[in-house]
């Protein structure tokens, strides 16, 4: 039985707090919640399920978006049509990143921001993220392009940062000559 998550709106103060490290290994409740997040993110990216369950498309969710200020992120990445890879990183840290900057051409969205926000968010084209899996094993993920954007976006949530905080108010849009748009 599918039950929608209660995702907090941008006005909720939980989203502006800096999250604390999660204790490892994760509890059964947290593991169950992570599986629920994976289901919802997957369904949200499949049109028929998105319509059936009234889901906005999303590929990532951080625990603060559920009112839990702990450092856990979940990303469900569609790497091929209908094929998904799940990333669950506990206490993630970006340990290296490329000098090359990119931006999502259409702009970024967020399941906690229920409105259109115009502008490009400058992100690193490649990042390496270290952290732990749900059982406390050390993991390392190298992400590029849109997956790199997703990791940076979700890790920002752990610092109380929303994507629109990173849009330059004086110059919200970039040209292809200024930054690579993907």
* Residues marked as catalytic: 154
Peptide bond into 104 cis (omega under 30): no
Distance CA 145, CA 157 (A): 19
Report the candidate in 75, 50, 68 with the shortest Cα–Cα distance to residue 8. 68
Task: Please give the DSSP secondary-structure letter assigned to residue 177.
Answer: T
Distance CA 56, CA 115 (A): 11
Matching residue, tokens 């603060």: 64
Matching residue, tokens 């990042």: 127
Matching residue, tokens 């259409």: 106
Report the candidate in 63, 125, 138 with the shortest Cα–Cα distance to residue 96. 125
Q: Positive or negative CA dihedral for 68, 40, 127, 138?
A: positive
Contact predicate 44/57, CB 8 Å: yes
């Amino acid at each position: 039985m599918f039950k929608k998550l209660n995702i907090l709106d941008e006005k909720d103060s939980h989203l502006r707090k800096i999250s604390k490290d999660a204790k490892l290994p994760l509890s059964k409740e947290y593991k169950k919640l992570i599986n629920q997040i994976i289901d919802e993110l997957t369904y949200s990216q499949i049109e028929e399920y998105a319509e059936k369950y009234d889901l906005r498309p999303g590929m990532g969710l951080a625990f603060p978006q559920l009112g839990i200020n702990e450092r856990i992120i979940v990303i469900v990445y569609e790497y091929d049509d209908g094929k998904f890879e799940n990333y669950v990183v506990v206490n993630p840290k970006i340990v290296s990143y490329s000098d090359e900057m990119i931006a999502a051409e259409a702009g970024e969205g967020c399941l906690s921001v229920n409105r259109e926000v115009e502008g490009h968010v400058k992100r690193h084209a490649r990042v390496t993220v270290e952290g732990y899996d749900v059982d406390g094993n050390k993991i390392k993920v190298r992400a590029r392009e849109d997956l790199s954007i997703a990791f940076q976006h979700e890790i920002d949530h752990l610092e109380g940062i929303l994507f629109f905080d990173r849009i330059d108010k004086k110059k919200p849009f970039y040209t292809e000559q200024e930054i690579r748009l993907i």
